[in-house]
Amino acid sequence: MHHLLFDCCKQLTHLTLHHCDTGSFSLFKIDAPGSKLRILEIEKCRFLRIDLVCLPKLEKFLWETWVSQVAPLTFGFVPSLGELELSSGSNCDQRLFRLSELLHGVTSIHTLTLDFQGETLWVQPEMEELRTAFSKLRKLFVRGIFVEFGISWTTAFLVAAPSIEMLHIEVWEHTCDVGEARPASYHDRKSPRWEMHLDSSSENRLLKELEFAGFKSLEQQFTFIRSMLERCPNLQKIVLGDEEQCDDCDTLKVPRPSRFPSKEDEQEMVVKRIRDEMFSPEIFFYE
């Protein structure tokens, strides 16, 4: 497959592999110094690991849903890589890995997406160790955080990324994967336990925008947003959004009242609680 894609297709700039492998649980090594590939997307493929040995033009890499029990990816020479998206629900045999080790040698990422798909986190607790990899990070998306988990642990990423300008948080609550509707093959979720010792004087002065999808007016969510305002003196814009229902949720046809503040008086209450007569960010709502 490597010969066909990278030796024969020399003008290839965008490649998506969907449900592919080179033998189940195999290693896929890409070493293509002459490749013009800019975008590589791996979706639901059964590779044990992908080694990006050399892709000098690669700008964006996405891997959705892997089967590896360990870190699914290594980077070699990828000097142009600016956007990275890792999206997967953890499986029962998966071991937590260090994001700093996976990103070793990669210092050009400006946009990072981590999507846990409502399952247990697959990364180990880290903070200072991520500083090198996050040195140029401008936009961070942390998605698929199960609604019963805390969210304060995401602050560790802010400590490691002083240049961040936009933070997106998404809380996950789907009727299709709780209670009797949850597939039997899924294991129990484990809440993240990150012990962080934050310097109260450290700030993220460049953070200007916070997006919060799946907002439900929960106390822990108000606490988190206010902590962001305290930590980020130039935070000017907060966008609060409702959760997105998936097709599987719609198929169940189970009525579930929304906890998103959609009425004007509810939104006024939310604004008042966030600002708390201390802060003055613009606050927007979308459903």
Reported as a single tens digit per residue, the pLDDT across 61-103 is 999 999 888 899 999 999 999 999 999 987 667 788 999 999 9
Q: Starting at the edge strand that comes first in sequence, how are the strands of the sheet with 26-31 ordered?
A: 26-31, 47-54, 73-77
Asked whether the predicted pLDDT for residue 30 surpasses 70, the reply is yes
**Tens digit of pLDDT for each residue in 149-172?**
999 999 999 999 999 999 999 999
227 shares a domain with 110: yes
10/41 same-domain check = yes
State whether 208 and 253 are in the same domain. yes
Token couple for 147:
């609604």
User: Are residues 61 and 90 both part of a single domain?
Assistant: no
pLDDT at 2 over 70: no
- What b-and-e string marks burial along 192-224, b requiring 16 or more CB atoms within 10 Å of the CB? bebeeeeeeeeebeebbbbbbbbbbeeeebeeb
8 Å CB contact between 29 and 55: no
**Same domain flag for 103 and 240:** yes
| 53 & 98 share domain | no
Phi, psi for 249 (deg, rounded to 5) = -65, -45
Closest CA to 68 of 50, 52, 53: 50
Domain stop point among 23, 53, 81:
81
Q: Are 60 and 102 found together in one domain? A: no
- pTM here is 0.93
CA distance 51 to 17: 15
CATH of the domain at 187: 3.80.10
Same domain, 108 and 47: no
pLDDT given at position 50 = 94
User: Which segments of the chain does DSSP mark as H helices, in order?
Assistant: 2, 99-102, 155-160, 219-231, 247-252, 264-275
Are 29 and 125 contained in the same domain?
A: no
Q: How many domains does the structure of the chain reveal? A: 2
Residues 59, 138 within the same domain: no
Burial 274-285 (b: 16+ CB within 10 A, else e): beeeebebebeb
Does 200 have pLDDT greater than 70? no
Which stretch of 29-33, 59-63, 199-203 has the lowest confidence by average pLDDT?
199-203
- Domain boundary among the residues 81, 113, 147 is at 81
Ramachandran quadrant class, 151 (left: phi over 0; alpha: psi -120 to 50; beta: rest):
alpha
